[in-house]
């Protein structure tokens, strides 16, 4: 029996045969060619076929993992259209008179290395995407075909790494779990694993001798057990049975109140990234939407989304939620969410840079367009607006002036506007410390614990090397949360959490004692948190 530790990506227990998975590598040989134009044409035809394949993958992923996660294949298509990437391939073919396979492979290696050497963990993870699109084009040029067949029986996939395209193409009914040596918690494959509910680990070195042996993936403890002894295997069968029963029991909580045994109530809302996530919100019985990230409209567009485009998206969400509250966060571009057409300067520390409300207040034409769309949509349901990255009362007052102006403008045009709560996110220590004054200016507080934690602890949450130092339960963070909640209640407004900490079951009782009015979590966490609330005295 062997046991290996890895970084857990998604919880759960999987027991089954291990299958070592690896793509057949394309053997790319540098070959001299006579006609560079003809070779460039070969490359362009292969690229077009690759983009066609990615379109098919997008449609498949749309059904299996939803619009937000399928979007990676549109991103891959856009990467294949990148001018710098294509100019590099063309230049290598033309100046060196070499074959397209070689030119594409060299370009892919060069660009992947550039991303891998970036300091930001999000952009580092994009190195794998460059390798994936390059491998696709090279495979087509070499006359090969994709093969993501994992066999006829359910297996635990153990691989060096997995590209998103491979993960999506695998037969999910045969995929018990996957374990890789490479990858990161921010990779698209990791995100897909969480969305599909597949137990997954990264950072595990594999051995050829494991192939075909019985394995156990413990996604809760971050362990891979190979060829387990019978007592261990029996214990894990019982653990998996209990885990499956627990998931079934959670379903019985649908329609139940979020109330403790002593009668304290709390609202449980969902965080979503775009309208495609609404099915999950409804399926998991969320009481509303506590964080609707509006930047998907900007990330998926090649130019600034129009007022009408935004209005239609917001209207769809509020109408679908049928009177339940929908809190939409205004544009939060910047930091790890870059958009070319915004033409943002490269910053040494983008997490502390020109982002979110700072962009909105200095580019009012973008902000006003979004606010017009939001206020128009408010006539169709229960819509609230919250503003991110606030650090001062002056900022809030400037926002209120613009907001008031937009509403008056719409009403003068004869456009209906609903009753809209306007609140702010508390995600900076400055906002937490000033929450007594800020509370007098707004209708609610929503605490963004992800950023609040990283700024309070001075730790980049994207940096894997700092995981040992990152403590979301740090007393300073919890004191800030209590301070914000108390200051909200002093002036009669409500306070909630919309960061990942809201789903931390170890803190549910603590949050209830603090008096928080709302927790907004990913849709799949609604029922576990509801159970924790109902189990609390």
* Residues designated as active site: 188, 498
Phi, psi of 144 (to 5 degrees): -90, 180
Which of 282, 201, 266 is CA-nearest to residue 11? 201
Residue 385: strand pairing partners: 328, 422
Dmax (CA) of the chain:
82
| Block residue for tokens 């189990």 | 535
Q: Give burial (CB, 10 Å; 0-12/13-18/19+) of 510.
A: middle
Torsion angle (degrees, nearest 10) of CA 50, 55, 57, 59: -170
User: Which residues 6+ apart lie within 8 Å of 324 measured at CB?
Assistant: 286, 287, 288, 289, 382
| Residue 84, token pair as written in the block | 């710098």
Whole-angstrom Cα Rg for the chain: 25
Helix, strand or coil, per DSSP, at residue 46: helix
Neighbouring CB atoms inside 10 A of 184's CB total 19
Across the chain, how many H-helices and E-strands are there?
20, 16
Q: Give burial (CB, 10 Å; 0-12/13-18/19+) of 338.
A: middle
Contact in structure between 290 and 517 (CB atoms under 8 Å): no
Question: Residue 531's Cα: distance from chain center in Å?
Answer: 25
Q: Give the integer Cα–Cα distance in Å for 426 and 304.
A: 27
Q: Give burial (CB, 10 Å; 0-12/13-18/19+) of 240.
A: middle
Which of 227, 176, 181, 175 is CA-nearest to residue 204? 181
| Block residue for tokens 């306007």 | 422
Query: What kind and span of H or E run contains 110?
Result: helix 100-116
């Amino acid at each position: 029996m062997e046991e290996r530790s890895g970084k857990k990506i998604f919880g759960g227990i999987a027991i089954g045969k291990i299958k070592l998975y690896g793509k057949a590598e394309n053997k790319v040989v540098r070959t001299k060619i006579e006609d560079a134009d003809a070779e460039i044409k070969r490359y362009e035809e292969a690229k077009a076929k690759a983009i066609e394949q990615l379109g098919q993958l997008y449609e498949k992923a749309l059904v299996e993992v939803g619009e937000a996660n399928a979007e990676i294949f549109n991103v891959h298509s856009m990467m294949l259209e990148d001018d710098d990437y294509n100019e590099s391939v063309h230049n290598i073919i033309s100046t060196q008179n070499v074959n397209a396979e070689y030119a594409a492979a060299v370009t892919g290696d060069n660009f992947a290395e550039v991303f891998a050497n970036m300091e930001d963990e999000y952009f580092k993870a994009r190195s794998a995407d460059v390798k994936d699109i390059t491998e696709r084009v090279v495979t087509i040029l070499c006359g090969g075909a994709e093969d993501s067949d994992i066999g006829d029986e359910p297996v635990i996939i153990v691989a060096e790494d997995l590209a998103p395209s491979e993960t999506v193409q695998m037969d999910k009914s045969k995929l018990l779990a996957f374990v890789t040596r490479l990858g990161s918690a921010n990779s698209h494959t990791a995100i897909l694993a969480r969305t599909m509910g597949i137990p997954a680990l990264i950072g595990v070195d594999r051995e050829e001798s494991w192939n075909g042996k019985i394995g156990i993936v413990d996604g809760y403890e971050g362990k891979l057990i190979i060829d387990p002894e019978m007592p261990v295997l029996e214990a894990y069968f019982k653990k998996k049975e209990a885990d499956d029963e627990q998931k079934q029991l959670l379903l019985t909580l649908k329609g139940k109140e979020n109330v403790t045994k002593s009668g304290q109530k709390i609202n449980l809302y969902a965080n979503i990234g775009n309208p495609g996530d609404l099915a999950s919100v409804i399926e998991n019985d969320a009481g509303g939407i506590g964080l609707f990230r509006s930047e998907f409209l900007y990330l998926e567009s090649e130019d600034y989304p129009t007022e009408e485009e935004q209005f239609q998206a917001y209207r769809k969400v509020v109408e679908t939620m049928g009177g339940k509250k929908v809190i939409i966060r205004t544009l939060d571009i910047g930091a790890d969410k870059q958009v070319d057409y915004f033409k943002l300067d490269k910053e040494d520390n983008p997490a502390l840079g020109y982002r979110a409300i700072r962009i909105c207040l200095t580019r009012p034409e973008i902000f006003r367009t979004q606010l017009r769309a939001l206020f128009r949509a408010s006539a169709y349901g229960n819509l609230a607006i919250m503003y991110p990255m606030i650090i001062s009362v002056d900022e809030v007052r400037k926002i209120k002036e613009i907001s008031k102006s937009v509403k008056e403008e719409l009403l003068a045009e004869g456009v209906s506007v609903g009753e809209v709560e306007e609140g702010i996110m508390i995600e900076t220590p400055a906002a937490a410390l000033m929450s007594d004054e800020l509370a007098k200016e707004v209708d609610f507080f929503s605490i963004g614990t992800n950023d609040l934690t990283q700024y309070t602890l001075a730790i980049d949450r994207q940096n894997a090397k700092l995981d040992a130092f990152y403590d979301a339960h740090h007393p300073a963070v919890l004191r800030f949360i209590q301070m914000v909640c108390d200051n909200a209640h002093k002036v009669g407004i409500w306070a909630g959490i919309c960061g990942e900490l809201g789903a931390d079951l170890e803190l549910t009782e603590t949050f209830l004692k603090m008096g928080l009015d709302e927790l907004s979590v990913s849709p799949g966490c609604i029922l576990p948190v509801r159970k924790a609330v109902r189990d609390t005295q």
